[in-house]
Structure 1
């Protein structure tokens, strides 16, 4: 279960910051007339993250298996990247627009897919962090790790839209979103230190 717990905490720390993808889901929770109307964006973002994680884990595993000497380099790269991601998230502002009009289902799908699949930060998160961290594990542990990271995306996007409905209008000063970003950065730094024990 260590692999599952590690994957869950890692993915959760990566997905917490209010970047373009999360802000869009959060905004749909606020602006859609019902929770059900936000489902197109939630499902699209969840499926997109799943595809990115599968590609990241399997492609980097293949590369590391072919070039065994690359494994320590990739792990060190993942460690450095976690430190960097934590620092950028710590400094980032949580202030984003949250008063956009409700988007249609087609627009939700198109936008959620674009901010998921074409977002450099999302690609760096999945390949640079989730993919490289998967090299720590093998066999069943790798599958547990991957399952945990995927499950976080699904759970989080459903909860984020719900949170948007519940507290979005009350967070006028972005205090909640700022605290979330700080906690995410600290978690990434802790995981980076934990990763050193696997090098």
Structure 2
């Protein structure tokens, strides 16, 4: 019984390690979190947005731990394509946010620009999968650390990281409405759009300027 108890504690340790590292990477502000926050504040397709983010993160974590990250790292062309394609998308997204920030009648325009189900799905997929940071952090970094934990332990590590994604995106998407009373004024929306635009452009710049 004591041996079984010690084994369970050891596996829990790997789970908590994955939970901590996963939370540290996922909670950091970026394009995906900014989009989930925006959709939560606007109350547009929140469940769909949160679900897609959780599913994508779960699959990417599993792929990284299974060894896909190491395989991608050995293909410089794929890394470069992801880098430049992601930088272009992030720059476009950032400039669009700044355009909204400086547009007159921001709230009225935003209210009429509702996304349909297909548009919401494609947008969250693009924000998630066209950002190279998701592969660098989730697939390469988490995958590399997870693969070092051992054949059984690495999946407990992965489960912890997946749990972090589940909890974070659920809280961010459905909890955003608690902040909605701050966004009844156009100035608050313009400030949010300005911050989002700055984050996106900064991420794009870091991708372009980082060593090849």
TM-score, reference length from structure 1: 0.62
Quote the Cα distance in structure 2 between the aligned partners of 1:52 and 1:61. Answer: 9
Matched, 1:58 2:66: yes
Matched, 1:38 2:46: yes
Pairwise CA RMSD:
2.9
TM-superposed CA distance for 1:60, in Å, is 5.2
Quote the Cα distance in structure 2 between the aligned partners of 1:123 and 1:39. Answer: 24
Aligned to 1:189: none
Aligned to 1:154: 166
Structure 1 residues 60 and 38, CA gap change in structure 2 (3 angstroms): closer
TM-superposed CA distance for 1:28, in Å, is 0.7
TM-superposed CA distance for 1:168, in Å, is 4.9
Provide runs of 4+ in structure 1 moved above 4 Å. 60-63, 95-101, 171-174
TM-score, reference length from structure 2: 0.58
TM-superposed CA distance for 1:128, in Å, is 2.6
Quote the Cα distance in structure 2 between the aligned partners of 1:151 and 1:102. Answer: 31
Q: Report how many aligned residue pairs link the two structures.
A: 142
Structure 2 portions without partners, runs of 5+: 1-11, 72-96, 102-106, 196-212
Deviations 1:2-34, CA, capped at 9 Å, x for gaps: 11111001010111122111111111110026x
Structure 1 portions without partners, runs of 5+: 64-94, 178-199
Deviations 1:126-180, CA, capped at 9 Å, x for gaps: 1231111113311332111011111211221111012211125538477xx9xxx
